[in-house]
Amino acid sequence: MGAAMAPAAVDTMLAHFKDTGRKPSYYDLIITGDLGHIGKDIVCDMMPTYGYNVKPNYNDCGVLIFDKEAQDTHSGGSGCACCGTVFSGFLFNQLKQKKYNKILLIATGALMNSTSSQQGESIPGIAHAVAIENLDN
């Protein structure tokens, strides 16, 4: 599903950078969830075509939540709770410890039901971004 959702994540990132005038380097971390390894690679491949390099500070919650070799998860973690779990359980503590001060959190999803792909329908992706900044520097 990460491949289906990656273009929505890219579109949301592009809209955010255009709206705010910021560049990827403004953020300590840009994080999507849950694209997994495949979707993350697609984002990293697509963003340079629009003039943005996100590789230095970009990661994905689905990639972070599991060890794909040790846990045999193939592409990574998935599910609607992946982004929330990684943010509230890990990244929020990183903000409190001031390891990160500026995070762009992009939650992703697929709008489908159990029969849409069996009927040959496309899988629409959706993403929304939340910019989180630690102002207590």
- Residue 78 has a pLDDT of 65
Q: What is the pLDDT of residues 6-46, one digit of tens each?
A: 999 999 999 999 999 999 999 999 999 889 889 999 999 99
- Residue 76 has a pLDDT of 60
**What is the pLDDT of the chain when averaged over all its residues?**
88
Please state, in angstroms and as integers, the Cα–Cα distance from residue 59 to each residue in 16, 66, 117, 119, 135, following that order: 17, 13, 28, 33, 23
Whole-prediction pTM value?
0.88
- Nearest of 63, 60, 42 to residue 106 by alpha carbon: 60
Q: Is pLDDT at 59 greater than 90 in this prediction? A: yes
- Residue 129 has a pLDDT of 96
27's CB contacts (< 8 A; 6+ apart) are 57, 102, 103, 104, 131
Neighbours of 30 (CB within 10 A): 28
Tokens of residue 33, six digits: 């969830």
Q: Which amino acid is at 94?
A: Q
